[in-house]
Amino acid sequence: MSHSHAPTPQGPQALPGIQHIIAVGSGKGGVGKTTVAVNLAVSLAKLGHRVGLIDADIYGPNVPTMLGATRQPNILDGNQIEPLVAHGVKFISIGLISPGDKPMVMRGPMLHQIIKQFLQQVAWGELDYLVVDLPPGTGDVVISLVQTVPLTGAVVVSTGSSVALQDARKALEMFHQVNVEVLGLVENMSQMTLPDGTVIDVFGAGATQQTAKQYNLPFLGSVDLDPQVREGGDRGLPAALAGDATARGKEFAAIAEKVIGRCKEIAAKAEVVLEIN
């Protein structure tokens, strides 16, 4: 790699030892974005990759509950924070530092500081993938993230409902505006299969795939609405841990495989650009 194009210090700085940084976002809350982020991270780890997860959803930090680890992180030499490890995933969350039901009341500059700290002051070591669970919507955290580190790309999560997709389109536009490539869309809570085999279409299955097509973006897959996914998240045992043994585990693994493929594509494109320059 040529170093003559090193970024100026105020621009985004690559994190040494970290290959890919992936943001997981959604236009609105309640579509299961954190569930997808956690299960994506666990699936990537199960596929043999070194994975980190930043819970950047400052207002609703649910990652510690979903990963089943809630103790305060240790502080290492040089004021570095040691991430917690659960199910093969290193992670950090504001929920570990300010546990309990106290709400986090924060303004832009404070958020920016926390995001920078989670990226630069955590002892991540070598990682193949660092997944960042964003807050819902299109706010300050995304801007902070993009200003601090170069992202490989973003995954946008939605349900098939037109209301959710309306907001997902805003998220797509936002990533476009800040020059972050969208790796693709995931439809969460797609359909629900009852014990007798009846399939109920709760939120409009397939509509996210249509939206991906409209935007000429990859569709990364769908995950059905299943109490097991919620129970796994509540118990700190994400559904993805089951791997190929369950339908949901398979769905998350397939999404992870597609994300890996997209990251490779984007890295290859970036190398071509470097060579041209």
Mean pLDDT of 145-155: 91
Decide the pairing of beta strands 153-158 and 199-200.
unpaired
Answer for the pair 245, 227: CB distance below 8 angstroms, yes or no: no
The model's pTM is 0.91
Instruction: Express each pLDDT in 240-265 by its tens digit.
Output: 999 999 999 999 999 999 999 999 99
What is residue 103's predicted lDDT score, i.e. its pLDDT? 56
Residue 90 contacts residue 84 (beta carbons within 8 Å): yes
d(CA 40, CA 224): 15
- Which of the residue ranges 20-34, 119-133, 249-263 would you say has the lowest mean pLDDT? 20-34
C-alpha span between 221 and 184 (Å, rounded): 9
For residues 208 and 213, give the distance between their C-alpha atoms in angstroms, rounded to a whole number.
9
Residue 105 confidence (pLDDT): 59
The residues facing 20 across adjacent strands are 129
pLDDT tens digits, 167-193: 899 989 999 999 999 999 999 998 898
pLDDT at residue 167 in the model: 86
What token pair was written down for 19? 């290959």
Decide if pLDDT at 94 tops 90.
no
Residue 118, pLDDT above cutoff 70? yes
What angle do the packed helices 108-120 and 140-148 form, to 10 degrees? 40
- Which residues, 6 or more positions from 59, have their beta carbon under 8 angstroms from its beta carbon? 103, 104, 135
- Percent pLDDT > 70 in the chain is 91
Mean pLDDT of 84-100: 88
Closest CA to 175 of 204, 196, 195, 155: 155
Q: Look-up: residue for tokens 């706010």?
A: 139
Q: Among residues 197, 169, 200, 198, which one has the least CA distance to residue 185?
A: 169
pLDDT for position 93: 93
Q: Is the per-residue pLDDT at 2 higher than 60?
A: no
Q: Are strands 199-200 and 192-193 parallel, antiparallel or unpaired?
A: antiparallel
pLDDT at 7 over 50: no
Q: Which residue has the higher pLDDT, 109 or 244?
A: 244
Q: Which class does domain 18-276 fall in?
A: alpha beta
Torsion of CA 27, 255, 45, 90, to 10 degrees: 0
Q: Which pLDDT score is estimated for 28? A: 78
- Top mean pLDDT of 49-53, 115-119, 178-182 is at 49-53
pLDDT of residue 106 exceeding 70: no
Spans of all domains in the chain = 18-276
Beta-carbon count within 10 A of 73 CB: 18
Beta-carbon count within 10 A of 170 CB: 16
- Residues in contact with 103: Cβ distance below 8 Å, sequence separation at least 6, in sequence order: 59
